[in-house]
Amino acid sequence: MIVHLKKSVSLEEAEKLAAKYKSALFENGSLVMVTPSKLKAADEELQKYAEQVFVTDTDIQLAGKQYLKTKREVNLGKVAIGGNTNNCVAITGPCSVESEEQIEAAAKLCVELGVTILRAGAYKPRTSPYTFRGLGLEGLKLLAKMRDKYGLQVITEVRDSTHADEVIEYADIIQIGAKSMYDHGILNKCGKTKKPVLLKRGFGTTLQEFVQAAEFILSGGNPNVILCERGIRTFETKTRFTLDLCGAAWLKEYTNLPIILDPSHAIGYAYGVPDLARACVAMGIDGVLIETHPNPKVALSDADQQLNFDEYRALHSSLKKVADAIGYKIV
Calculate the dihedral angle through the C-alpha atoms of 316, 317, 322, 326, rounding to the nearest 10 degrees.
90
Residues 99-108: contacts with CB under 8 Å, at least 24 apart: 100/142, 100/145, 102/293, 102/294, 103/142, 103/143, 103/146, 104/146, 104/149, 105/294, 105/309, 106/292, 106/293, 106/294, 107/146, 107/149, 107/150, 107/152, 108/150
End-to-end Cα spacing for the chain: 36
Show contacts with a copy of itself in window 30-59 (CB under 8 A). 34-37, 59
Q: How far is the CB of 232 from a copy of itself (least distance, A)?
A: 6
Residue closer to a copy of itself by CB (options 83, 284) is 284
Interface segment toward a copy of itself; rule CB under 8 A; list 43-51, 93-101, 112-120, 277-285: 277-285
**What φ, ψ does residue 57 adopt, rounded to 5°?**
-75, -45
Show contacts with a copy of itself in window 189-228 (CB under 8 A). 202-209, 212-213, 215-216, 219
Residue closer to a copy of itself by CB (options 168, 283) is 283
| Interaction mask 116-145, a copy of itself, x per CB under 8 A | ---------x-xxxxx-x------------
Q: Which of 3, 9, 14, 24 binds a copy of itself (CB under 8 A)?
A: 24
Question: Is the Cα torsion angle 305, 306, 307, 313 positive or negative in sign?
Answer: positive
Residue closer to a copy of itself by CB (options 58, 75) is 58
The DSSP H or E segment spanning 312 is: helix 309-325
Residue 253 touches a copy of itself, criterion: CB under 8 A: yes
Interface segment toward a copy of itself; rule CB under 8 A; list 45-53, 248-256, 291-299, 306-314: 248-256
Show contacts with a copy of itself in window 226-245 (CB under 8 A). 231-239, 241-245
Show contacts with a copy of itself in window 280-299 (CB under 8 A). 280-284
